Amino acid sequence: MLRTFALAAMFALALSSPALAGGWAVTTLDSVPDGFDAGQTYSIGYTIRQHGITPVDLASTGIRITSADSGKQITFEGRKDGAVGHYVARVSFPAAGGWKWEALQDWFGPQPLGQVEVAPAGIAMAPDARPAAAAVSAPRSQAPSALLIAGLLLTLAGVAVLFGGSLATATQAGSRASRSPARAPAR
C-alpha cells in the first residue's frame, strides 16, 4: 500500500512540475522621450526579465503599436543589444493620435505598456502637454494565472487524499491485528 501511495504522489508531482516552472515575464523600458511626433523614428530600449528578476534571452521580441482610432497594428522587431535580455526596437508612429503599445515577449506573450498621445508631424508640443515618460513606460506585473494556482491546489488536495487514504488503511490494519485473539503455536 505504501508503494502505491509513493507512486501516486510521484505521479501527481510530475504532472504539476510544468505548472510550477513559471511562464511570465516583465518588460521594463529604458528612458523614453517626453513625447512622440508622427513620422519620427525612436530607438526604444527595453529589458525582459522572467518573473521580473532574471534577464532572459529570447528568439523573437519587439514592440507592437495599435492605433486607437483605426485599430491598425504595426510591429517593430526588437534586436539584441548589450546585456542578456536587453533589446532595442526602432519605433515610428505613422500618424498623430492615440496609440496603444505593447512589448512582445516571445512565448511569454505580450505585455501592455499603456497608451501614448502622438503629436502631428512638425508641430512642437510644450513639454507639459506631452505624456509623462513614467506614465508611458510603467510595466504591468503579470502574476501567475488563477488556473495555475487552481491546478497547484488540486494537486496538493489529491496528494492529501491519497496520503489520508493510505494512513486510514494502515491504521485499520494495525487495529485489526491488535484485536485478533492470540493463537497458540501449532504442535
pLDDT tens, 111-162?
999 999 999 987 655 444 444 433 343 344 444 554 445 455 556 565 565 5
Question: Which domains occur in the chain, in start order?
Answer: 2-21+146-176 (no CATH), 25-137 (2.60.40.1930)
Supply angle C-alpha 115, 120, 123, rounded to 5: 125
pLDDT tens, 97-123?
999 999 999 999 999 999 999 999 876
Amino acid in position 169: T
- E strands within 52-182? 54-55, 62-67, 73-80, 86-92, 97-104, 111-119
Cβ-based neighbours of 2, under 8 Å, separated by 6 or more: 166, 170
Grade residue 23 by pLDDT with cuts at 50, 70 and 90.
confident
Torsion of CA 123, 127, 132, 137, to 10 degrees: 50
pLDDT at 13 over 50: no
pTM here is: 0.57
Of 39-48, 89-98, 142-151, least confident by mean pLDDT is: 142-151
Query: All 3 cell numbers of residue 158?
Result: 489529491
% of the chain surpassing 90 pLDDT: 50
The secondary structure element, H or E, covering residue 37 is strand 36-37
Give 127's DSSP letter.
Answer: G
Chain-centre distance of CA 39, in angstroms?
33
